[in-house]
Amino acid sequence: MEKFKKYLLLPIFVFITLSISAQNESSKNTPDSSIQTEKSIEQTADSVEPLDLIDSFNKILNSTGFVFIDFKVILMLLISCLLIYLAIAKQYEPLLLLPIAFGMLLSNLPTAGMFNPELFANGKIHWDIFTDKGGLLDYIYLGVKLGIYPCLIFLGVGALTDFGPLIANPKSLLLGAAAQLGIFATYIGAIGLDFLPRQAGSIGIIGGADGPTAIYLTSKLAPELLGPIAVAAYSYMALVPVIQPPIMRLLTSKKERLIEMKQLRMVSKTEKILFPIVVTIITSLTLPSAASLIGSLMLGNLMKECGVVERLSKTVQNELMNIVTIFLGISVGATATASTFLNIQTIKILLMGVTAFCLGTAGGVLLAKFMNLFLKEKINPLIGSAGVSAVPMAARVSQNVGQESNPHNYLLMHAMGPNVAGVIGSAVAAGILLSILG
């Protein structure tokens, strides 16, 4: 064991001896190395000017966004935080209002460069400077500008929608069409308030209570108004239970609200499969400008009803729609910069938007009352208010208001007919405006 220890320590002693000898040899060859090092340090110190800490601090400070904060920036950040609060605490359309609000927050952060409106100036995409100046939100916004996101949202809406009540009661299609009265009435009113025709059409579409359609049409006709119009459209959609009931009660009598409707007939699977195909063909041939929205809506519904692509249908209803909703919300919110949002036009848009929504609600109710003059089997006028596109919220409001007068009155399925007809109607209205003004 002792011999083993000696053999083990021998290489260590040899290594130490060689290291010491090498160090001594090096010190002999460079006896003044420490002196030379000190001299080089002194020469370097003499050649460099003293560092100005104040100038360096100013450069760092000027590179931050705090220097560019002004009253408008603060106000936009506060509005963003308010919308986030409404989405989380009050649950006002949180799936879209939350990403819209956060997109607004990001685009209004000074010097962050997340969104650059000049890349989309004059309604065009300036590809020549896009790669040099494009921020994250600029690239995401391309899906809105090119009309991709709204169509994908319609694909998901179609996969989530049952057109059975509309097929069972085709008269409800008229109620959905009448609810679009607010769109065209507001279009005329907006022109009277000195808006350009293309801007007036974008403002009027708020009356359809259909966020994706409003975004789609505005991105084509008046992209400079996309931020305030999107915020108005989704805000009023969330306020359906607040805005509609007073109008419904005002325009109907107690007797009319008591009207009970018979149960709808059963709709066959064949009818449900043929419906999206027939509607797509007829609408696209009649109004080609609406083909993108209607085609996407009907494709999603066909996936749901045919029963042979269940995986695709579930993907469209869930994963795809959720992903697109995030991108759509963030990019739309990014367009609400201080220059486009904080002006008198925004106040006018918000006021005309709620006017359009109220007129749309009234149009459906009044047409139902008019139809009752000629029908043997009366319809409850309350279902006419569901002709706006807020699916299925507007139909639930019709049910709730109806049950206030008659607890045994079940109007939900009857109201779903005008409700889904309103989705088609708003897309058709957008197509009409696009064909006239585009």
Mean pLDDT of the chain: 85
Q: Are 313 and 304 in contact (CB under 8 A)?
A: yes
pLDDT band at 208; cut points 50, 70, 90: confident
Query: Which pLDDT does position 91 carry in this prediction?
Result: 86
For the purposes of burial, counting CB atoms within 10 Å of the CB of 108, is it exposed (0-12), middle (13-18) or buried (19 or more)?
A: buried
- Could you read off the pLDDT of 160-177 as tens digits, one per residue? 999 999 999 999 999 999
Residue 37 has pLDDT above 90, yes or no: no
Lowest mean pLDDT among 40-54, 74-88, 126-140: 40-54
Query: Which pLDDT does position 294 carry in this prediction?
Result: 95
Tell me: cis bond preceding 246? Omega within 30 of 0 counts.
no
Higher-pLDDT residue of 418 and 60 is: 418
Query: Which pLDDT does position 52 carry in this prediction?
Result: 67
Query: Which pLDDT does position 57 carry in this prediction?
Result: 67
Ramachandran region of residue 209, left (φ > 0), alpha (ψ -120 to 50) or beta?
Answer: left
Lowest mean pLDDT among 122-126, 270-274, 378-382: 122-126
pLDDT band at 23; cut points 50, 70, 90: very low
Query: Which pLDDT does position 41 carry in this prediction?
Result: 44
Domain ranges of the chain: 147-437
Q: Which residue matches tokens 């009309």?
A: 147
pLDDT band at 19; cut points 50, 70, 90: very low
Percent over 90 (pLDDT), the chain: 58
Higher-pLDDT residue of 18 and 238 is: 238
